[in-house]
Structure 1
Amino acid sequence: MTRNIADIRRDYEGGKLEESQAPDDPFVLFDEWFTLALEKRVPMAML
């Protein structure tokens, strides 16, 4: 079976990441994103 990455690609609409608004600690930003992904129940294939 051949897999095509385009089959699982999704377009997301949301806010932009502005570097000036990003925290100095990248782990803080990752935690925010990961928590949001869990809350939204984003499929693991998308994480």
Structure 2
Amino acid sequence: MAAEAYSAAREQGQDPVLAVMRITGHSRRKSLRLIASARDAGLLSPRHARR
């Protein structure tokens, strides 16, 4: 759910973290943790390219 909201907000040019906060009702810190766990699960692309 968080990954879908994050991706949709990025495509629309909106703040993805704020979109996750709206959907989940969690604070910014908890939303960032959800986004990080979605990245770890492979649902989102990595934040930085590995060298």
Interval of TM-score (by shorter of Structure 1 and Structure 2): 0.3 to 0.5
Relative to its length, the structure with more helix (as a share) is 2
With structure 2 as the length reference, what TM-score do the two structures score?
A: 0.39
Please tell me whether Structure 1 or Structure 2 has the larger radius of gyration of its CA atoms: 1
With structure 1 as the length reference, what TM-score do the two structures score?
A: 0.42
